[in-house]
C-alpha cells in the first residue's frame, strides 16, 4: 500500500490498531467465559457500567483521532477547542476509577452486611454460610476495582497518545508558520531593495 496514506492517517491508524487489539483481547476473554463470571460475581453490575463507559469513550477517542488525522492531512490549523475536548477522556478515566471504588465500597458493605448476624462459631454450617455471604461481597469489591482500574488505564493510554500527537502537530504548524513569516519578510525586503 502507498506509504503516504499511512503517514497521512497515522494518528487514526495508531488508535485503530490499539482498538482492534482491545477487541481481540475482549473476544478472547469472552471465550473463557470471563463476562459470565463477572456478571455472576458482581452483584452491583457496576463492572458493566464501567465497560459501557469505556467502550463509548474509546469510540469518542477514535473520532477525535480521525479529526486530528484529517487536520494533519489537510494541513489545517488545530482548533483552539480541540485539546479541551480531550478532557472528556481524562474525565471518563477518572469516572472509571471512581466507579471501581464505589464498587469496592459496595462490595465490602455486601460482605459485612448480615454476614455475622446469625453467626454461631460452634456450628460449622453457620460459619460456612457466613463465609459464603462474605465471598459474594468480596467478589463484587474485587471485580469492580479490577475493571475500573484496567479501563481507566486503557483510556488514559488512548488520550495520552492523542494529546502527544496534537502537541506535535501544533509545534509543527508553529514552525511552518514561522518559516512562512520569515519567507514573506525576506520577499518584502527584496521588493524594497
* Residues 61-111: tens digit of each pLDDT: 999 999 888 888 877 666 666 677 888 999 999 999 999 999 999 988 888
* Cβ 155 vs Cβ 96: under 8 Å: yes
CA angle 168–172–178, rounded 5-degree value: 145
50: closest CA among 152, 136, 139, 140? 152
Instruction: Give the model's pLDDT for residue 80.
Output: 65
Instruction: Give the model's pLDDT for residue 114.
Output: 66
Point out the residues of the chain with pLDDT beneath 70: 1-8, 76-82, 114-117, 119-120, 193
* Cβ 8 vs Cβ 72: under 8 Å: yes
Handedness of CA 40, 139, 112, 116 (dihedral sign): positive
Instruction: Give the model's pLDDT for residue 17.
Output: 95
Where do we find the cell 497515522? 10
85: closest CA among 66, 107, 110? 66
Q: In this structure, what C-alpha cell is assigned to residue 175? A: 514552525
Amino acid at each position: 500500500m502507498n506509504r503516504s496514506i499511512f503517514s497521512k492517517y497515522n494518528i487514526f491508524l495508531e488508535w485503530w490498531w490499539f482498538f482492534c487489539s482491545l477487541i481481540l483481547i475482549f473476544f478472547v476473554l469472552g471465550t473463557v467465559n470471563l463476562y459470565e463470571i463477572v456478571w455472576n460475581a458482581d452483584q452491583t453490575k457496576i463492572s458493566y457500567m464501567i465497560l459501557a463507559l469505556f467502550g463509548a469513550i474509546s469510540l469518542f477517542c477514535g473520532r477525535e483521532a480521525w479529526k486530528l488525522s484529517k487536520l494533519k492531512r489537510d494541513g489545517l490549523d488545530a482548533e483552539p477547542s480541540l485539546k479541551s475536548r480531550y478532557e472528556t477522556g481524562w474525565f471518563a478515566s477518572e469516572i472509571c476509577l471512581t466507579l471501581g471504588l464505589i464498587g469496592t465500597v459496595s462490595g465490602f458493605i455486601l460482605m459485612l452486611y448480615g454476614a455475622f448476624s446469625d453467626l454461631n462459631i460452634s456450628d460449622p454450617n453457620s460459619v460456612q454460610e457466613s463465609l459464603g455471604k462474605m465471598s459474594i461481597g468480596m467478589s463484587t469489591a474485587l471485580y469492580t476495582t479490577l475493571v475500573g482500574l484496567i479501563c481507566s488505564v486503557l483510556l488514559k493510554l488512548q488520550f495520552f497518545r492523542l494529546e502527544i500527537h496534537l502537541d506535535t502537530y501544533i509545534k509543527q504548524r508553529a514552525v511552518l508558520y514561522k518559516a512562512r513569516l520569515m519567507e514573506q519578510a525576506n520577499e518584502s525586503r527584496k521588493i524594497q531593495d
